[in-house]
Amino acid sequence: MEDTANEVPLVEMRGICKSFPGVRASDEVDLRLERGEVLALLGENGAGKSTLMNILSGLYRQDSGDVFIRGEKVDIRSPRDAADLGIGMVHQNFMLIDTMTVAENVVLGMPSLPFVPDMAVVKRSILELGERYNMTVDPDAYIWQLSVGEQQRVEILKQLYRNAEILVLDEPTAVLTPQESHELNDVVKRMQAEGKSAVFITHKMDEVMAFADRVMVLRKGRVVAEKTTRDTDPKDLARVMVGREVLFHIEKGPFEPGAVVLELKDVCADDERGLPALRELSLSLRAGEILGIAGVAGNGQRELSEVITGLRPVKSGGISINCVDSTNKTPLQIIRSGVSHIPSDRMAVGAVGDMSVANNLAMKDYRAAPISKGIMLLPRRILEFARKMISAFNIATPSPETRVKFLSGGNIQKTILAREIESCGSLLIAVYPSRGLDIGATESVRNELVAQRDAGKAVLLVSEDIDEILSVADTVAVMYDGRAVGVMPTAGADPEEIGLLMAGIDPSEKETRL
Amino acid sequence: MGLITSLIAITLRAGTSLVYATIGETYAERAGILNLGLEGIMLMGAVSSFATAYYTGSLGLAIVVALGVGGLMALIHAFLSITMKANQVVSGLSITLFGTGFASFLGQRLGPESNGRYLIGLTGPRFAPIDVGALGKVPILGAILGQDLFTYGIYLLIPLAWFYLYRTKNGLWLRAIGENPRTADAMGVAVDRAKYGYTVFGGMLTALGGAHLALAYTPGWSENITGGRGWIVIALVIFSMWNPGRAITGALIFGGINAVQFRLQASGTNVPAAFLNMLPYLATIVVLVAITWWEALSKRVGSPASLGQPYVREDK
Ligand SMILES: Nc1ncnc2c1ncn2[C@@H]1O[C@H](COP(=O)(O)OP(=O)(O)O)[C@@H](O)[C@H]1O
Ligand SMILES: [Mg+2]
């Protein structure tokens, strides 16, 4: 090696190339990570961030290029090889087994585990670790019972448990609330203080500034910039990342609400575990209004969208849509009453990955002409319809016949959005619609929601991003522990007050105590 | 021997081969591999073990040969499903078609000149029920103890298979593979190697079930000696909810109805024999469907999520 001994980087990737059918995901990428450093990998969806890190963690194999760890050339053929080198990755799509417990997931695949593991010991260390890093999870809970935020914690605990020296976090904050992001930042800082290093993948500029020492910007598989965070700012980064100036502003017509479209009265419902998720929740939403639901994930937001769309039974109370009772109706009946739904779990609920873009677009309209005739679907009409939607919504796809799972996250989201908006009668329910999207896609999704409102539809927007709610919604309701604890117009709302409500603190009480 | 005790004895004997194959297939399916070749593997296990026992007089060697034949046939299925990513249903059915035909062919060619090269009708060494002396007279216990070594084997195999799957590290790995091979892979489990291993292991146990038929249950070789047990096993795996601890229940239902049916035939009823022969299959299917349906409704259990699907690491 030409470097002197104490300047050998912890990780060095040289000239990495990786192609998938039709795309060059990594194109001669060089990457360096020093000991004790946090490196941000910034780029839009599809820029090749995950691919590069999947190569480092042994899940993908590079077509060409070399990887050096602590100065030595290594051949990483599997995730096991990577783990042996101290590399641990928290993947963008959770690598968790739903039907197993937290403890089982944490120890999965660890070679050092005894043949007959003592799960009591494992659980105790998980609790200890959770306390040390301030991210507790019940080790006996099943993954399917946890909220996305909690699942993310399990993912990070898994790597802490393995004592990974080099931690790769692939868009970890995409599913976290602002508070949880802060907690994560603390965890990363603590690991850094312990001499560990991290690669932090994101497409959010402010996170680069908060988490990282250095940033590497990727665009279309190539490195387009490399800077220390001290020498840059979010605006500069956004320009390099997108390749043009970005506007952070949304145009909105005047707020002129019409008749009440959605009304919930004292709705109660349970979660999967049979525990109360909604407690006497009452809300109302008018035509031409966007109601933003703020709150920390796991306070009943998912259940709220599910009771409205008929996916979860209501135990007591009532829901009416356009003054017609829709309590405990089937999803089909609710779709027919003019409700559209953009779910949070896009791949599982919102789209069929193995079906074409065209079929996914037509999925809700297949029952009626012109797409079908009797029980026959008309494939040519479906394609025609799809082409129209693809151009109207700017969906980047090689063809209408491409399978949806091959699109980037932003374009999958746009596909669902296009379908739901096209079929929307009077009420659109959007759950975390911009989660995981890059700036460009986020911008177009938000604009589309506002356009629907301006066209006189009622929009329920569930979001964990307070800024998104304040800029897009007309009214905000904060959910805490299954209740709506504060409902107020967004004009003039104080973000700090909303933050306190989200944490379950009544702001008026706090003032009296001060 | 009392009626109950003798029914239990026959039930256990009739269920033994099913337990071996059910546990074998449970393990393969837990690794995500559906093997519809069971019927063919059982038949090949039966014919190869009987021929070996007949010519060498060694029951130990007969078992080794059955294990080898079963393992080899499952290895073909593993290669087609795991490495070649073939359709597992097609591959499994081919194994059964091949196994059925080839076992029948061997049964007509491997025999001695004196028997016209047929294996049918010959008697060879067999596993006899163990004589436990006075204990054999004790009701119920006598039925459990007065069995051949194969049946003793399931007394050990069932708890061991359960313990391995639910209490050991490798069992956890195995359950993870069937549920979500991508996650297991990303967490450092050698997915393909395990899939190969458990598929081959399943084939070996299945062949052992076949060997039990030819060496102990109905000693000798006859065409279609399995009587479709390989197919019953596919249903039993579902019924047991992929839990080896429950393999015994399903096997006992089938074995028990068989026992009752034997009794009826022996007592000379005027119900047609063909109907009685059909009874165990019919009743097993009805009971399985009813119970499985009821359980699937009441519990959150289902097949391993990746069952039958090939896993490709770099697929999206
Ligand atoms: N396993 C795969 N098969 C086919 N194409 C893939 C696969 N993984 C990634 N790609 C493609 O490679 C490109 C880069 O993807 P990715 O690395 O996931 O981007 P990012 O993480 O920056 O959003 C995209 O065009 C994506 O569709
Ligand atoms: Mg990515």
Q: What is the DSSP string of A285-312?
A: EETT-EEEEE--TTSSHHHHHHHHHTSS
Q: Which two tokens stand for residue A510?
A: 């706090």
- Residues B44, B210 contacting (CB under 8 angstroms): yes
- Phi, psi of A372, rounded to the nearest 5 degrees: -130, 160
CATH architecture label of A260-351+427-502: 3-Layer(aba) Sandwich (3.40)
The arrangement of secondary structure in B3-297, i.e. its CATH architecture, is: Orthogonal Bundle (1.10)
Q: Virtual CA dihedral for B22, B28, B31, B34, nearest 10 degrees?
A: -100
Distance from CA of B246 to the nearest CA of A (A): 19
Q: pLDDT (tens digit, 9 = 90+) per residue, B241-263?
A: 899 998 888 888 888 888 888 88
Residues whose Cβ atom is located within 5 A of ion ligand 2: A 50, 92
| Domain parsing of chain B, residue ranges | 3-297
Mutation test residue for ligand 1: of A61, A397, A408, the one with most atoms within 8 Å of CB: A408
Sheet strands side by side (includes A72-74): A23-33, A11-20, A64-69, A72-74
Contact indicator for B158, B23 with CB cutoff of 8 Å: yes
A113 and B169 within 8 Å at the Cβ level: the answer is yes
Report which residue type is found at A155: E
The CA angle A168-A172-A174, to the nearest 5 degrees, is 150
Q: What is the pLDDT along chain B (316 residues), one digit of tens a residue?
A: 588 888 899 899 999 999 999 999 999 999 999 999 999 999 999 999 999 999 999 999 999 999 999 999 999 999 999 999 999 999 999 999 999 999 999 999 999 999 999 999 999 999 999 998 888 888 889 899 999 999 999 999 999 999 999 999 999 999 999 999 999 999 999 999 999 999 999 999 999 999 999 999 999 999 999 999 999 999 889 888 899 998 888 888 888 888 888 888 888 778 887 887 788 788 877 877 787 777 666 655 678 989 999 999 988 7
> What is the whole-number distance in angstroms between the Cα of residue A260 and the centre of ligand 1?
43
Structure tokens belonging to residue B123 = 């008697």
**Tens-place pLDDT, residues A33-87:** 999 999 999 987 778 999 999 999 999 999 999 999 999 999 999 999 999 999 9
Residue type, B282: L
Where in chain A is CATH 3.40.50.300?
8-242, 260-351+427-502
Ligand 1 residue neighbourhood (C-beta within 6 Å): A 20, 23, 25, 43, 45-51, 406, 408; B 314-316
Q: Which amino acid is at B250?
A: G
Which ipTM value was assigned to this complex?
A: 0.90
CA distances from A105 to A137, B172, B177 (A): 12, 9, 12
CB contact under 8 A, B187 and A95: yes
Give, in words, the CATH class of A8-242: alpha beta
The reply to whether the predicted model has a pTM over 0.90 is no
CA separation, residue A67 to residues A61, A82, A451, B314 (Å): 11, 11, 48, 19
DSSP string for residues in A83-98? HHTTEEEE-SS----T
- When CB atoms are compared, the residue of A79, A97, A109 closest to B179 is A97
Q: How many CB atoms lie within 10 A of CB A497?
A: 17
Q: CA angle at residue B228 from B225 to B234, to 5 degrees?
A: 135
Cβ(A200)–Cβ(A188) below 8 Å: yes
